[in-house]
Structures are given as structure tokens and as C-alpha cells.
């Protein structure tokens, strides 16, 4: 739910003049969503302010004037004495139909953060076609096919990150008691960075970037950089003059973890709020862990509010109270737990691989991979791609497809048809990669042909094209390092010194390794015989590579035997041949406890 009411304008007038208005005071033609014509008249008496609103004269309050295109106020342009509106003869009525942002922003009702309000500058961005596209991108991509509650989108996640960014930034700013180079407008830019950080995500969450594009040989494309390009596109396409070029560049650096030399001294901590490239403690992580666990029904033990509450800026860096060490460690433990239980669930990965195959088959006809370079093309991509492929016959006649492209589309549709009827790629097994192999960089992933060559059986013909090998990585955001090694702590909120803490100073139960990688095997051929053969081949390869101490998953389930046929006398007696229990029917009269069935059973026993 969003709402445009609820905050008295008089309480926000000063903030509106100091943030929104100064960046749109140049004369010019009306430009859609950034037309602030008549804003002064709506502020109930912002005394003494001179408004230049897109060439339209409007009154603002006692003693104020409005200049239009530099020609000075027209007759009667002074506002009425009470400041409630324009004086007689003013030209404010010319702007009555122009769109202008609400001074007090928008209120949202969120299942995770409850009610919160976003700044008017944010409204200029989220009320655009490009941002509304995020409504059609599920936050967890294809996880919805396994966790039915995971239907939330990147739209609400982006709003939530903007809200947390505003909370965190204002908390840190207030604690510095004015001893900072940061102004209120800088805090607004942090909120915008939180709002825009996921603009560059493609369809199906990270599957698009990490699976589809990489299998196309595109390894340098990153959604963070597309987010910055999309922000430029939104500003230009929607004529948002309220953000200067400097503002946009700063927001982009906040999105891409640009800190250090990217910002002047005294402002560098602003670049650690949305995307923290130093220790990965940021509000993006706070929101997606809270939101994803809420919708998937998975509990986490981290107290995110305490992390923000017990933090302050020391030496231009966000630091935390030493008592929060365990809570911060739990943040990364919660992330690892969500990866293990949800993000890399074995069936979620199977669905990911199926959709990747479908996109690869459809790419020659739809040219999906060609649309990742220009924001104008990229904005067309969302999760509706599957429906487009599935219903391709509706517009097949509009395209002049080569015969091979038409055949590829049919192959793509066949994969999606398997997904719809739940005939998923079969999970076969996985093996834990020894940590020492990762530490010494001795790990080289096998190819599907390596697995096929390890098969010693003769009953099944394994093919490399039926084998999928997927490396599953779970870590604490810092590869195999403890992420808290890059965190500074303080003793109390009045402290001015920071220090690092060793894990043994807090607890002896901190884990030795902070990364786990395993190799998973899936089979496109779902026949039980093929799955069993693939399992034997994988087990043989693992023992040859890792030795007898290899840790593999529980062996694949054997095929279920056909259900036994009940004996004739058991049917007559209304008794299940397997368990000896009476069988109930689905309809009235089918129940063996109905009077007619009881009589028949008694006669049969006699």
C-alpha cells in the first residue's frame, strides 16, 4: 500500500526547500515529473522564498515573489497575506495541471518493515516505467518453484533497501552531532542509491548473469554496472532535473561499492551503507535476509536493528560496538544458512539449469543476449520471458525465422513443458571439495566427459550432453576469510578510538573455514537407469580424484517398485492386502464402513 497523505506540509516545508527545490530552479519548459510549478503555493506559506518553476509564476507566502524566465514577477504575483495561495492576477493557474512531486513523498506498508515513507526525490524515480519493471522480477528468481512463498519481487526489496539506507544514514549522521562534512541532501542520495541498486538485474535473478550469460561466453557483464547505466537512462528518459550530474555520479559510486578515493574526506562512510565493499555489512544484505527468510519461512537469529543501533562513524568508517561481534557473525552465518537451505536448494538448482537451457535454445530467435548492452533494450527483459517462449505461436508469423531457429524454439518450449509438469532434471549426487584443495588452488573442475569416461558399467549408454556439473559455493561473503577481520569496533558510543577484535577474544566456537564448495551432478535424462549409471560414474570419478575419504551425499534414491496388486479375497473383504487396514473410498458409498459394504464383507467371510 502506498499513500500520499499523513504528514503536515508545514513540518516538511523547510526540508523540501533545502533538498528538492534548489535543483530545479532554472527556467524552462515543463518537463513532466519534475515540474514544480506552484510548489510554493502548496507549502502553506513558505515566507520569503522566490520560486522559479519551469517558467511559471506562482505565489509562495508573505512577501515572496516568483520570477518567470527571468522577466520578474507579473502583476499581482505576490502571495496573499496569509500565504495560503497566490494573490489576485497571479499566473499560478497555468501550472495547475502540471505533474509535480508530493512534498512529503510516499508512504508504503511493508510486511517486513511495517510503514515507512520515502523522499520525494525517490518518487521521481520509482514512478517510472524502468523502475516499475522490477515488479516483474522475482527477488529469488526461480526459487518460487520450490518455496511457494518466495513470490516477492525486486520492487519491494529495492524500496526496503532505500528505507533502511535512510534509517542507517540518519542514525550515523545524528551521532556525529554536526561534526561532519555531510549535509542532509547527501543522506537523500544514499536513499536513492538504495532504491536504484538493483535496477540492472536481469530475469530470474542471478541465473541470467551467472548461468545464461556465462554459458554464452559473456563473463564481464555485471548487474551493478547495468544499474548505474539504467539510472542514467531513467534520468534522461524521464527528464529528472532534480538530480545534478554530480549527484548521479555519487549515487552510482554508492551502488558499485565505490569508497575510499571516490569520496572526499568526511563523506566516505556514506559509501559503506548500501554496498559495502570493505566488509560486506550493508543494508542490502539486511533487507534481503529479512525479506527472504520471512517469505520462505526460514528463521534467522541475527538482530539487524541492533547492528544499526550500535554503530557510529570513526575515522570516516562505520564501526560497531564490540558487544555486537556475535550478532555480526550471525549475520554472515544467516546468509550461509539461507544459501544452503533456500538459494542453492538442490531442486532450485535443477530448475535454474532447465530455464538456462531453455533460454540458450531460444536465444538465436529472440536475441536475448543482444539486449544487455543498451538500457533501452535491457528494460524489455523480465520474468515474462518464459511465457513469451511458451506462447511463441501467438506471434510466430510476425517473425521471419530460419528453419533452425524455429526448431530451437520448439526445443526451448519442450524444456518449459517439462518444467510445467514437474519433470525436473534429476539431482544425482554431490561431493564436498576438500578445503586444502581450495586453499592451495589445486582444484580443477571436471567436464561432463570426464564423468562419462569414469563409468564402468555396461547396461546404460551415458552421454556427456545429459550430464550437468554445477559447483555450489557457500561462504561468509569474504571467500575463505572471516569477514569480521575487516571490521573495526569501539567500546561505547562516546569512544573516539577503534580497534579490531580477534575471534578468540570473543568465543572459541568460531569456525575454522568460512567457505564450502561442492560439486553437484544433475542428469537431463530422468530415467531411473540413467540416473543410477550417472551416480556410479560420479562416485568412481570422486574416488579417483579425492581418494577413499571423499564425502559424498546420500546415494540417489532407488526407483520405486510398482504397487502390489491386492488379492481377490482381500478386495471382497474390503481389506488392504498390504497393511490389513480397511480402505476408504473417495465418494459417498465407496467407504467400506458404509452399511452396504459391511453387509457384503460379512457375507464374504461366511
Please report the pLDDT score of residue 578 as a whole number.
44
Select the more confidently predicted residue: 575 or 219.
219
Mean pLDDT, residues 461-465 taken together: 95
Count Cβ atoms below 10 Å from residue 529 Cβ, excluding itself: 12
Select the more confidently predicted residue: 533 or 50.
533
Domain with CATH 1.10.3210.10 in the chain: 118-342
Q: Under DSSP, is residue 239 helix (H, G, I), strand (E, B) or coil?
A: coil
Which contacts qualify for 245-249: CB closer than 8 Å, 24 or more apart?
A: 247/23, 247/189
- Asked whether the predicted pLDDT for residue 71 surpasses 70, the reply is no
Q: Mean pLDDT for the chain? A: 79
- Asked whether the predicted pLDDT for residue 83 surpasses 90, the reply is no
Q: For residue range 184-219, what is the model confidence (pLDDT) as tens digits?
A: 999 999 999 999 999 999 999 999 999 999 999 999
Please report the pLDDT score of residue 257 as a whole number.
80
Record the pTM. Answer: 0.75
Please report the pLDDT score of residue 434 as a whole number.
86
Mean pLDDT, residues 66-84 taken together: 40
- Asked whether the predicted pLDDT for residue 345 surpasses 50, the reply is yes
Q: Under DSSP, is residue 156 helix (H, G, I), strand (E, B) or coil?
A: helix
Q: Residue with C-alpha cell 544452503? A: 340
Mean pLDDT, residues 229-243 taken together: 96
CA distance 210 to 216: 10
Select the more confidently predicted residue: 66 or 232.
232
Select the more confidently predicted residue: 556 or 541.
541
CA distance 140 to 497: 40
Please report the pLDDT score of residue 177 as a whole number.
75
Quick one: which of 329, 324, 331 has its CA closest to 300? 331
- Asked whether the predicted pLDDT for residue 539 surpasses 50, the reply is yes
Domain with CATH 3.30.70.2760 in the chain: 425-503+513-561
Contacts of 502 (CB under 8 A, 6+ apart): none
Please report the pLDDT score of residue 469 as a whole number.
97
- Asked whether the predicted pLDDT for residue 457 surpasses 90, the reply is no
Please report the pLDDT score of residue 477 as a whole number.
72
Cell numbers representing residue 260 in the block: 575510499
CA distance 338 to 344: 8
Catalytic residue among 223, 295, 488, 514: 223
Q: For residue range 328-342, what is the model confidence (pLDDT) as tens digits?
A: 999 999 999 999 999
Q: HSE of 549 in the Cβ direction (CA atoms, 13 Å)? A: 2
Any idea which of 173-187, 393-407, 549-563, 592-606 has the lowest mean pLDDT?
Answer: 592-606
Q: For residue range 348-387, what is the model confidence (pLDDT) as tens digits?
A: 999 999 999 999 999 999 999 999 999 999 999 999 999 9
Q: Residue with C-alpha cell 520471458? A: 385
DSSP 28: -
Cell numbers representing residue 198 in the block: 538493483
Select the more confidently predicted residue: 150 or 13.
150
Contacts of 462 (CB under 8 A, 6+ apart): 451, 452, 455, 530, 533, 534, 537
Q: Is-catalytic flag, 339?
A: no
Please report the pLDDT score of residue 182 as a whole number.
86
- Asked whether the predicted pLDDT for residue 101 surpasses 80, the reply is no
On whether the 118-342 domain is CATH 2.130.10.10, my answer is no
- Asked whether the predicted pLDDT for residue 46 surpasses 50, the reply is no
Edge to edge, the sheet with strand 426-432 lists 426-432, 515-523, 467-475
Select the more confidently predicted residue: 391 or 263.
391
CATH number of 425-503+513-561: 3.30.70.2760
Any idea which of 1-15, 209-223, 335-349, 471-485 has the lowest mean pLDDT?
Answer: 1-15
- Which of the four pLDDT bands, split at 50, 70 and 90, describes residue 546? confident
Amino acid at each position: 500500500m502506498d499513500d500520499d497523505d499523513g504528514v503536515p506540509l508545514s513540518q516538511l516545508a523547510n526540508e523540501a526547500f533545502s533538498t528538492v527545490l534548489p535543483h530545479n530552479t532554472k527556467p524552462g519548459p515543463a518537463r513532466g515529473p519534475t515540474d514544480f510549478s506552484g510548489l510554493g503555493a502548496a507549502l502553506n506559506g513558505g515566507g520569503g522564498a522566490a520560486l522559479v518553476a519551469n517558467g511559471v509564476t506562482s505565489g509562495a507566502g508573505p512577501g515572496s515573489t516568483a520570477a518567470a524566465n527571468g522577466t520578474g514577477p507579473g502583476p499581482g504575483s505576490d502571495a496573499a497575506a496569509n500565504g495560503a495561495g497566490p494573490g489576485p492576477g497571479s499566473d499560478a493557474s497555468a501550472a495547475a495541471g502540471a505533474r509535480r512531486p508530493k512534498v512529503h513523498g510516499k508512504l508504503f506498508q511493508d510486511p517486513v518493515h511495517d510503514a515507512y515513507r520515502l523522499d520525494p526525490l525517490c518518487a521521481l524515480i520509482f514512478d517510472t516505467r524502468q523502475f516499475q519493471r522490477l515488479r516483474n522480477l522475482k527477488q529469488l528468481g526461480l526459487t518460487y518453484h520450490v518455496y511457494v512463498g518466495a513470490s516477492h519481487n525486486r520492487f519491494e526489496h529495492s524500496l526496503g533497501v532505500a528505507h533502511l539506507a535512510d534509517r542507517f544514514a540518519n542514525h550515523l549522521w545524528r551521532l556525529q552531532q554536526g561534526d561532519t562534512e555531510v549535509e542532509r541532501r547527501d543522506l537523500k542520495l544514499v536513499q536513492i542509491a538504495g532504491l536504484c541498486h538493483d535496477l540492472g538485474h536481469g530475469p530470474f535473478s542471478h541465473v541470467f548473469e551467472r548461468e545464461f550469460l556465462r554459458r554464452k561466453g559473456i563473463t564481464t557483464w555485471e548487474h551493478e554496472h547495468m544499474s548505474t547505466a539504467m539510472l542514467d537512462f531513467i534520468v534522461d528518459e524521464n527528464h529528472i532535473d532534480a538530480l545534478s550530474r554530480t549527484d548521479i555520479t555519487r549515487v552510482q559510486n554508492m551502488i558499485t561499492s565505490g569508497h575510499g578515493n571516490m569520496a572526499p574526506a568526511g563523506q566516505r562512510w556514506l559509501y559503506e551503507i548500501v554496498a559495502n565493499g570493505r566488509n560486506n555489512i550493508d543494508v542490502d544484505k539486511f533487507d534481503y535476509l529479512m525479506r527472504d527468510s520471512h517469505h520462505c519461512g526460514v528463521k534467522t537469529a541475527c538482530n539487524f536493528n541492533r547492528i544499526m543501533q550500535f554503530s557510529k562513524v570513526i575515522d570516516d568508517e562505520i564501526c560497531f560496538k564490540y558487544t555486537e561481534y556475535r550478532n555480526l557473525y550471525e549475520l554472515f552465518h544467516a546468509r550461509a544458512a539461507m544459501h544452503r537451505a533456500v538459494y542453492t536448494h538442490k531442486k532450485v538448482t535443477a530448475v535454474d539449469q532447465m530455464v538456462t537451457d531453455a533460454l540458450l535454445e531460444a536465444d538465436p530467435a529472440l536475441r536475448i543476449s543482444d539486449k544487455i548492452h543498451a538500457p533501452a533494450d535491457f528494460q524489455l527483459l523480465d520474468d515474462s520471458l518464459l511465457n513469451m517462449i511458451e506462447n511463441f505461436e501467438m506471434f510466430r508469423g510476425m517473425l521471419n525465422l530460419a528453419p533452425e531457429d524455429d526448431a530451437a524454439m520448439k526445443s526451448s518450449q519442450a524444456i518449459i513443458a517439462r518444467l510445467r509438469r514437474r519433470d525436473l532434471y534429476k539431482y544425482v549426487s554431490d561431493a564436498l571439495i576438500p578445503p586444502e584443495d581450495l586453499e592451495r588452488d589445486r582444484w580443477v573442475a571436471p567436464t561432463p566427459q570426464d564423468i562419462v569416461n569414469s563409468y564402468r558399467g555396461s547396461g546404460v549408454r551415458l552421454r556427456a550432453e545429459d550430464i550437468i556439473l554445477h559447483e555450489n559455493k557457500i561462504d561468509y561473503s569474504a571467500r575463505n576469510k572471516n569477514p569480521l577481520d575487516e571490521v573495526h569496533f569501539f567500546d561505547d558510543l562516546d569512544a573516539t578510538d577503534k580497534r579490531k577484535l580477534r575471534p578468540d577474544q570473543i568465543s572459541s566456537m568460531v569456525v575454522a573455514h568460512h567457505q564450502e564448495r561442492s560439486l553437484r551432478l544433475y542428469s537431463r535424462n530422468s530415467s531411473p537407469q540413467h540416473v543410477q549409471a550417472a551416480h556410479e560414474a560420479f562416485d568412481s570419478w570422486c574416488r579417483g580424484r579425492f581418494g577413499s575419504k571423499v564425502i559424498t551425499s546420500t546415494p540417489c534414491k532407488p526407483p520405486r517398485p510398482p504397487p502390489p496388486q491386492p488379492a481377490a479375497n482381500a478386495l471382497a473383504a474390503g481389506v488392504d492386502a498390504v497393511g490389513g487396514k480397511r480402505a476408504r473410498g473417495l465418494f459417498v458409498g465407496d467407504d467400506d464402513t458404509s452399511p452396504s459394504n459391511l453387509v457384503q464383507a460379512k457375507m464374504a467371510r461366511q
